[in-house]
Amino acid sequence: MNNKTERERWNAGIDSEVPVRADAAQSILHELASEALTEKRRARRWGIFFKLAMLALVAGVLAAWLYGSQLLAPPIGEHTAVIDLNGIIAADAAVNADDTIDALQDALSDGRTKAVLLNINSPGGSPVQSGIIFDEILRLRSRYPDIPIYSVLADVCASGGYYIASATDKIFADKASIVGSIGVRMDSFGFTEALDKLGVERRLLTAGENKAMLDPFLPEDESHKEHMQNMLDTIHRQFIDAVKKGRGERLADDERLFSGMFWSGEQALELGLVDQLANAREVARDVVGAENRVNFTRHEGLAEKLMGQISLSLKRVVLAFESGLIH
């Protein structure tokens, strides 16, 4: 009787306790697996973060070295400083007043600079930016009288490009360079007849009788046209005065000079718009006497580009973490 009871108890224990133990073990295994998965995801996140941080550090050091090596490891002896002015002149363009002036100050304050060459290849652009650079060149010439500032013209030096060049001590050009275009222009269109043919009605609300000046969808207003012409004439006069101030008696007595006409470098030499036919290498070697040239151009270099890309990548990773896209 007792043995039977023990057997029944034993059997009952097997039947009741085994499922309980199996459920407990399964629950523990599930928790362990979940914690392991969570820890793995956490390690993965930190792994990605530290890899990106290390990449940013290495890229930053490399970029800074590449960007600054030219200035950190200056050449032995005297050199000719070069500043490139390539493209349209505008506040938001590669050639602008701030970068150009900073580059000039860097070049002139370097104790090894024997002369500065403005390597100009520009069709022109903003008269404001050109005028600011012109005034600053004159100021720096008086501040650093022993360091000449020359302009070397490449394919094109027209309009605002020549505005800047006229402020320098001397202007050199290739015989085939395009030089001049001392003038001011403003472009517009008129679509009034096109609107009539298409049957489109122009609707415009303004506060101020001159707010819609030069609207291409309205008939031309003579008073507006006269006002704009006076403004262009004023800016043109400023341009002419600057060129005369910079070039002085070297300019030929030719009424075409300020008509907006342009010439080859060879013709410009005869008109007094340039002083000599020579390229940058020749000027550095034969005129300055310092053939070794160092570029001081200010622009968005490799360091800025890399750091910008790295910063953008890190921001994307942080947003991905926050949004749960990376677990």
Integer angstrom CA distances of residue 166 from 17, 103, 133, 241: 101, 18, 11, 11
Q: How far apart are CA 161 and CA 87, in angstroms?
A: 9
Return d(Cα 189, Cα 218) in angstroms, integer.
10
The answer to whether 89 touches 160, Cβ cutoff 8 Å, is: yes
Spatial separation of the C-alpha atoms in residues 293 and 295, rounded to whole Å: 7
Tell me if 254 sits within 8 A of 246, measured CB to CB: no
Catalytic residues: 159, 211
Rg for the chain, CA atoms, rounded: 36
CB atoms within 10 A of CB 42: 11
Q: Which two tokens stand for residue 229?
A: 């012409």
To 10 degrees, the CA torsion angle through 87, 91, 97, 99?
A: -80
* Tokens at 85, concatenated: 């002015």
